[in-house]
Structure 1
């Protein structure tokens, strides 16, 4: 089973130094509140981790490098609270290897028309900042997901959750080992995938194994293991009379249970997350 309890999405907020200490303090406060809000959402299956507001090319590059090397980080959600000059982002975006989501939102759900002044305008420039950020990603042809809407809306949180699940899938692919059992059927084109290309493009490591690599584990299955698994079959499945205890085809169920136990042992020993055979039947472990 895949454990996602330690996986994280980093919430990175863009701004710049010229806004001054007081404005940037408010930017950080707002950003932390948003990060806590979406982290608490039931729509998002992993932790949302607030990273400090980035205000310079070096800070941006450093957070991207840190994300690349952190095994728990599966992606970045970026938001521009204020105007963050996009040339500052070129270096970081160029090296970022993790999935990226651009959250085009604003801190306030409503615009306070009656009390709005220049201080408010100076602090809340996400419409301007996100447009600048979107421009540079388009100019760089940077692959990303764009989500538009207020961060408290369930619709927005649901879209964030959907993207997060895609990021989890991407992360799993980077570490996935696939066992190809019975590799290969000679001269048959459809059974021979390009394993090198799969690893280059998706990160999936596919290697071939002989059926004997599995059968040696099948031969080690104990009577207790077998009887325990058969008991699970009896309790959790509706079995046809012919494969129940004493049935004419009971042995076929016993053989299948042995194969399952042997295959599980083979996969666990090799650290495989999936397997396939020469007929391209994929099993996810």
Structure 2
């Protein structure tokens, strides 16, 4: 049989891979169940391998099917991006940029970067999403984001990064804390305190970096709470539920009832990076990077 893979095949495969049930997938696709079965069989004949395992009461992806599912997701994400870019060009706009960021990016470079971007390209569309580091990387790999502002040390091979700011950590304590005015801060003085930390969901590498601070001081912190949101940390600290360790730049831009004590006598530093997928062909990618480099210089 002289079949060729067409977009409809991939669409049918995608829905079946999500449902893992021929009847439910056929209903979503508004086709008959035998028709869907034929389309999947055609694909398997073209690829010369099974994409699904079928049993009396189950359907599951084979190893080849798992691989194809990931690739198909990328294909359809790219098709969506193409449609969006064409629509923007048709409206006379250069492009649409989807940005992910963590809170500290807003307190450092992001506002200036967006202002300069809009000054150079007033018609550019920008979508902002505050997301954890890990989720940003996942979305960059799928081309669901164009850029991410993240705090990480190691990046997947497809992700390129550019360091923006390396800074100290700071202790966050409630107003009136007895150690607030100490000239020399020793973390050992706080070993009996409860700590409120960014969780591993924020960034595994960032979490490990913070925990290394405690290891250097040879004590295990009493972790009262974990969260991925800076404002939540500050509000919890202000209520006396614990103290926190955060990047120093977070002391800017938040109106909270806490004090910051910069930890300048420890070796650990944290770096904010701009990250993007090297295979992303959005026409605004290089423009955005060039503006960032101008600001940093």
Q: State TM-score, norm by structure 1.
A: 0.24
Higher helix share: 1
Task: Choose 1 or 2 for highest CA Rg.
Answer: 1
Higher relative contact order (Cα pairs below 8 Å, separated by 6+ residues): 2
Hey, which of these two has a bigger chunk of strand by percent?
A: 2
Q: TM-score, normalised by structure 2?
A: 0.24
